[in-house]
Structure 1
Amino acid sequence: MSRRELVTTVLADLVAPLVLFYGLRAAGADAVTALLAGAAVPAARALWVLARDRRAEWFALLVLALCLASAATALVGGDERVLLARDALVTAALGAVLLASVPTARPVLFTVGRLTLTEAGHSPDEWDRRWASSARFRGIWRWLTAGWAAGLFADAALRVQAAYTLPVDVVPAVHAVQWFAVLAVLLVAGQVWLRLPRHRALIFS
């Protein structure tokens, strides 16, 4: 994902729903209406991504499905707590994808690391050779991917807890901040893992 696309994703999937929610709440809208209006922005972006790429991009499909599920929940009388807990499904699904990739030929975090290496102007050939020949190298990336999956599952659990215990108007802000906090923790923990003395030579030399 390019920097521009990352910024667009953050604005459409995090910032815009938050602004809409609190703007509509300040204008007197009920919580369900404000949450559904906020969900319309990620849904519109997901549709645009699917139309642009002309293929079934799984994350866009997930976001769109969750937005449609939110609308259906509201129509059958679901309350705002259910809509707030919906956010947990995104990180749980991401965690499931990472976990499912652990025993495969290319765990997600190895693929991401390899892509980052390439974008930085370095050849990934040495990493490919180490992947083919070193069980320890493969283990480093598999454990890192599993660790990220565990972190995302923990994030999903915290989102559900927040949705059902905190005041309704506080939860969207908490969830937004939690995205950045969890990402920062996972990124820092990942770098610490990769730079452990027993791993550093295999990864960075």
Structure 2
Amino acid sequence: MTKNTGNQDRQPGALDNFKPLLIDVAVPLGSYYLFKDAFGMSTFAALAWSSVVPAVRTVWGLVKERTTNALAGLILVVNVVSLLLSFVSGDPRLMLAKDSGVSSTVAIAILFSVRFGKPMMTAGMKPFLVKGDAAKEAAWQRLMSGSAAGSAAFRSRERAFSLVWGLALLAECVVRAVGAYTIPVDTMVWLGSVILVAAMAIGVVVSGGLAVGPMERMLAAEVEACRTEQPAPALAA
């Protein structure tokens, strides 16, 4: 008789799959706008409080795991620079334009990471595709290492995922910056958040069609190919 081992057999849920991306990007960005727009904090205070999570993540990685978290570190650096700039900013339109500084810097960093062959958004996408499955994890490693037949196509889709998000965030930054100097301030205060949500929705839809969906099918095909290549177990005499 087998017993349910509880968490040992639990499959990761949607929140588990997206946790790295939520912690490194969504939480700092979302908390900044929450503190600033919902709680009425100053730009300086909102940036300071939204820096807590990336700061903890960065320090924890360096001290405990002996690794560096690129996204968390980037968000932290951008927030610190924005805090310093807040001392010299008094123009409300400049303040609105500066609100897009975090997303624009992240966007540029993502695009550079694609250019140099180390897409930053892969860390957030991989858990969603692998879902804690050992066979999919092994298939992922084969596809990424170049040892599988579909490796080139798989890596191309991986780069496309980060490219889409980099372009979406960069476009959001440009639209918000233009709006800050062409649209009434009172309107732009709430419209800026709408633009950000729209950019993220577009990023989800486009990256899903161009990268996530095809990569999911490639992983499934690689898992199946590995199973068919394994020799059948010998029958007992």
Structure showing the higher helix proportion among its residues: 1
Flag the 1:4–1:85 CA change in 2: closer, same or farther, 3 A: closer
- Once residues 211 and 76 of structure 2 are traced to their aligned partners in structure 1, the CA distance between those partners, rounded to angstroms, is 30
Unaligned runs of 5+ in 2: 1-18, 63-71, 222-237
- Once residues 139 and 83 of structure 1 are traced to their aligned partners in structure 2, the CA distance between those partners, rounded to angstroms, is 38
Q: TM-score, normalised by structure 2?
A: 0.66
Flag the 1:10–1:100 CA change in 2: closer, same or farther, 3 A: closer
Flag the 1:139–1:4 CA change in 2: closer, same or farther, 3 A: closer
**Among 24, 34, 37, the residue aligned to 1:18:** 37
- Residue 95 of structure 1, CA deviation: 1.0
- Once residues 194 and 4 of structure 1 are traced to their aligned partners in structure 2, the CA distance between those partners, rounded to angstroms, is 19
Match for 1:174: what amino acid? L
Match for 1:82: what amino acid? L
- Once residues 58 and 110 of structure 2 are traced to their aligned partners in structure 1, the CA distance between those partners, rounded to angstroms, is 23
Instruction: Work out whether residues 55 and 76 of structure 2, in 8 Å CA contact, stay in contact via their aligned partners in 1.
Output: yes
Q: TM-score, normalised by structure 1?
A: 0.75
Cα deviations by residue, 1:11-59 (Å, 9 ceiling, x for unpaired): 53112211244xxxxxxxxxxxxxx724412313315652675368221
Flag the 1:188–1:48 CA change in 2: closer, same or farther, 3 A: closer
Q: CA RMSD in A?
A: 2.9
**Among 19, 38, 45, the residue aligned to 1:40:** 45
**Structure-to-structure mapping, 1:13-162, within 5 angstroms:** 13-21=32-40, 37-47=42-52, 49-50=54-55, 53-54=58-59, 57-74=73-90, 79-117=91-129, 120-123=131-134, 124-133=137-146, 134-162=151-179
- Once residues 85 and 162 of structure 2 are traced to their aligned partners in structure 1, the CA distance between those partners, rounded to angstroms, is 29
Q: Does 1:173 align with 2:190?
A: yes
- Residue 151 of structure 1, CA deviation: 1.5
- Once residues 48 and 185 of structure 1 are traced to their aligned partners in structure 2, the CA distance between those partners, rounded to angstroms, is 26
Cα deviations by residue, 1:97-128 (Å, 9 ceiling, x for unpaired): 1111114453123332223345x322322112
Instruction: Work out whether residues 179 and 188 of structure 2, in 8 Å CA contact, stay in contact via their aligned partners in 1.
Output: yes
% identical aligned pairs: 21
Instruction: Work out whether residues 13 and 41 of structure 1, in 8 Å CA contact, stay in contact via their aligned partners in 2.
Output: yes
How many aligned residue pairs are there? 185
